[in-house]
Amino acid sequence: MAAVTADDAEEIVDALEHYDVKEKLGGEAPLTAVWRAVHRSSGQEVAIKRIRVSGINRSLRECLDCELNFLASVRHPNIIRLMDVARSDGSIFLVLEYCAGGDLAAYIRQNGRVHEHVARKFMIQLGSGLKVLRARHIIHRDLKPENILLTTHTSEAILKVADFGLSRIVCPGEYADAVCGSPLYMAPEVMLFQKYDDKVDMWSIGVILFELLNGYLPFHGRNNVQLLRNIGDSTSLPFSQVILPSLHPDSIDICTRLLCKNPAFRMSFDEFSNHKFFRK
């Protein structure tokens, strides 16, 4: 958390006069910034996300339009809720529901690996949110723990898929080709500059599930080249030897099929939803 500067507070008040800004939560400077704020009359806590639109390229503008159109039309417990939109010179402000539990990355840092039943509970919720995207032919392209928010700090939290700033519509039979996302959660075909479809989100889900079960990532690299080499050289997933004897075979199978290097053989969303991992 960071203090709110006078310039930040003034800019937000000019666009959203009914909110008092409390603290900065994060963002990716200089394009985005996120603050916790409180509605003056109701006392409701919200998150305010500022997006600088002046000077962004056409591709990012299309992603922003996708994000706004999607969030404005969706009400789902596992998708972050958009409450209001305001515009000022060169910026758009999104008023979003505030999630007091922070993000899944912070949860993993604090708790380390989680038990299978907790991972299953979290994956059910992620799958529920992802189902909404699939119904609208939207691929997220940046699924990672930092973009999954929690309503509380406990394993009973409701998870919310957030940050659709790189999302886009890809209809069946169509493909995307822009290299975007976070490398450690990015499917290899994206880093290889190949055309791709919604299977890239399934890879990201596989990385997140593996990280939940083991407390660490399946693949590392000092740069994209080394990361790709490590993925390509792998013959099996590096499950922790501490937990492997107690892991159910269904947990190992779903991770292995999600993290299949060849997207043609990678688990689809329907196969994910119907996997035996969830029948416990």
Fold annotation for 6-97: Phosphorylase Kinase; domain 1 (3.30.200)
Q: What's the burial of 272, exposed, middle or buried (CB within 10 Å: 0-12/13-18/19+)? A: buried
pLDDT recorded at residue 17: 81
pLDDT at site 99? 97
Write the pLDDT tens digit of every residue in 178-227.
Answer: 999 999 999 999 999 999 999 999 999 999 999 999 999 999 999 999 99
- The highest-level CATH class for domain 104-278 is mainly alpha
Q: Which of 167, 133, 136 has its CA nearest to residue 62?
A: 167
* In the chain, domain spans: 6-97, 104-278
pLDDT in tens, 102-156: 999 999 999 999 999 999 999 999 999 999 999 999 999 999 999 999 999 999 9
pLDDT of residue 231: 97
Burial bucket for residue 83 (CB in 10 Å: 0-12, 13-18, 19+) = middle
Q: What pTM, to 2 d.p., does this model score?
A: 0.93
Choice among 103, 142, 163, 197 that is catalytic: 142
Instruction: Verify whether residue 250 is a known catalytic residue.
Output: no
